[in-house]
Amino acid sequence: MKTDILASFPAMMANVREKEPIVQAITNFVTVNDCANIILAAGASPTMAHEVEEVAEVASVVQGLVMNMGTMEDVEAMLVAGKAANEAGVPVVLDPVAVGATRLRREGGKKLLENVKFSVIRGNTSEIKHLAVGTGSTRGVDAAEEDKITEDNYKAFGYMARELARKTGAVIAISGVIDIIASADRVFALRNGDAMMSRITGSGCMLTALLGAFCGGNPDHILEATVCAVSLMGVSGEIAREKTDAQGAGTLTFRTHLVDQISLTDAETLQKRTRLEELELGEKATKESMKVYAITDRAWLNGRTLHDVTEEVLAAGATFLQIREKELDEATFLEEAKDLAQLAKKYHVPFVVNDNIDIALACGADGVHVGQSDIVDKDVRAMIGPDKILGISANTVETAVKAQESGADYIGVGAVFHTDTKKDAQSLTNEELLAICKAVTIPVVAIGGINENNIMQLKGSGIDGVSVISAIFAKEHPGEATKVLLKKVEEMLGE
């Protein structure tokens, strides 16, 4: 059950102020004083210990740990402290300052992510983009202009943050004109703050320190604590600007008002002024999601329910799900599709409906898969909208290119082997598959007669994964079959 984030604010704030958690902040020397003051203003207690000889001992007894990569001489201390905090169950917050800017920072950030489990990762758009996809421009410690969040692209950053949250297990907070906060399941956009916050040194570092205080006071409610802390920083910035303008003062006065306001803002004011939007984001078709693309078939249920068999398959690691029902009446089909849509959501797996746009839209699916004939006389992309997944079948370079031009997010290509499902389909060679994959920029999944015994024959074909029906659903143990297929696919892909 989803918690009411705004309703949680009073408890989040009270827990920090009543528990007075000790927060260890290994931060850069430029902002260390401001970070200590913001932790105190929130009601917590800072310790700025950063010597490698003592950080593990300190990290094991505090309630929160903050790591800030602003200056890089403390990375070894961060590693030691992070491991100690993990062992002690202490929440750890990372600020990957300018992580993509230099080799030293890239390697340091990589080492931290590989060795420490973070509760929260907070950065600007360029920093989070680097961690998420390995790219991202930088302008020193600031986000590059081309990476900044706008009303036109904020949902895309929501998707990116959610994927990084799933990858790392951390709550991701992206700072910008619109702040994005994401867990594996929920994504929020927050429209608070003031432009003057970017005119003082270390406002981002201060927010990271504030997150350490809130996570330290609320270790079992990291998402709620993160949203509350980001909102408190933004609302306090707005009020600080109002007070600064009333005095006719400038940036240094603003900084003082900002720290003051962190200590003065109450939960009721925070709730009233917070401008929070929860984003309802479906799944996306990615190359990673193509690995084991499972298509349902009730012919092999053998007395079991489609729900139970499908859950077994998803729990075993299937990365994409399609419901394909040619015999069911519309009402029954819709009920089955609704059920599988919820299952897929539970496992964070993209879910599409085969050939039925109405059912796809009505059941809450992430999208629809159609054949070439379906895009001849109708604009399927326009019918389902820009955010839904559109998969289109293809078997030549020409039809693949046409599918991409028609708005496809991925292409299903086949048949690659003889199949009983489509007896008239001609098999494609690896050379033909490779030509198709090179002709498009979207993911390509192979389909047709694929099983655990012939997957390796597709090595070097350029495909991103395999789509199967009987290789999973006709097996006595569909979950085990799924695991075998996933291992074979990863071997075929060279992973």
- Residue 326, annotated ligand binder? yes
Q: How many CB atoms lie within 10 A of CB 415?
A: 20
Which of 323, 425, 334, 420 is CA-nearest to residue 372?
425
User: Do the annotations mark residue 150 as ligand-binding?
Assistant: no
On whether 420 is known to bind a ligand per the annotation, the reply is yes
Find, among 192, 70, 174, 91, the residue nearest to 131 by Cα: 174
| CA gap 443, 479 in Å, rounded | 25
324 is catalytic: yes
3-state helix, strand, coil split of the chain in percent (to 5) is: 50, 15, 35
Question: Is beta strand 465-468 parallel, antiparallel or unpaired with respect to 444-447?
Answer: parallel
Whether residue 203 is annotated as binding a ligand: the answer is: no
Q: Please name every residue paired with 447 in a beta bridge, in sequence order, or none if there are none.
A: 414, 467
Q: Within 96-221, where are the H helices?
A: 103-115, 125-133, 154-168, 203-217
Set 236, 393, 461, 467: catalytic member: 393
Residue 162 per-residue DSSP state: H
3-state class (DSSP) for residue 97: coil
What are the tokens at 495? 């992973």
User: One of 117, 324, 338, 381 is an active-site residue; which one?
Assistant: 324
Closest to 454 measured CA to CA, from 479, 480, 477, 488: 488
Q: Is 393 helix (H, G, I), strand (E, B) or coil?
A: strand
Instruction: Confirm if 452 and 275 have CB atoms less than 8 A apart.
Output: no
Residues 310 and 321: beta-carbon distance below 8 Å:
yes
**Distances in whole angstroms, Cα of residue 287 to Cα of each of 91, 443, 465:** 32, 5, 8
Q: Is 324 marked as binding a ligand?
A: yes
8 marked as part of a ligand binding site: no
Residue 322 annotated in ligand binding? yes
Any binding-site annotation on 330? no
Q: Which of 227, 171, 211 is nearest to 44 (CA)?
A: 211
Q: What is the token pair recorded at 50?
A: 């950063």
Given 110, 422, 438, 459, the catalytic residue: 422
According to the annotation, is 122 in a ligand binding site? Answer: yes
- Please indicate if the annotation marks 449 as binding a ligand: yes
Residue 481, helix vs strand vs coil: helix
Residue 396 among known ligand-binding residues: no
Q: Is 358 annotated as a binding residue?
A: no
CA distance 47 to 24: 5
Q: Is 374 annotated as a binding residue?
A: yes
User: Coil, helix or strand for 417?
Assistant: coil
376: Cβ–Cβ under 8 A, 6 or more apart, which residues?
Answer: none
Cα separation, 95 vs 309, in Å, equals 42
Give residues with Cβ within 8 angstroms of 375, minimum separation 6: 392, 402, 403, 406
Q: Is 399 helix (H, G, I), strand (E, B) or coil?
A: helix
According to the annotation, is 244 in a ligand binding site? no
Please tell me the distance from the alpha carbon of residue 216 to that of residue 251, in angstroms, as a whole number: 30
For residue 384, the one-letter residue type is I
Find the helix packing angle between 251-264 and 32-42, rounded to 10°. 30
Distance from the Cα of residue 15 to its chain's centroid:
28
Residue 422 annotated among the catalytic residues of the structure: yes
Q: Which segments are annotated as binding site?
A: 48, 122, 175, 202, 322-326, 354-355, 374, 393, 419-422, 449, 469-470
Give me the active site residues, please: 324, 393, 422
Q: Which segments are annotated as binding site for Mg(2+)?
A: 355, 374
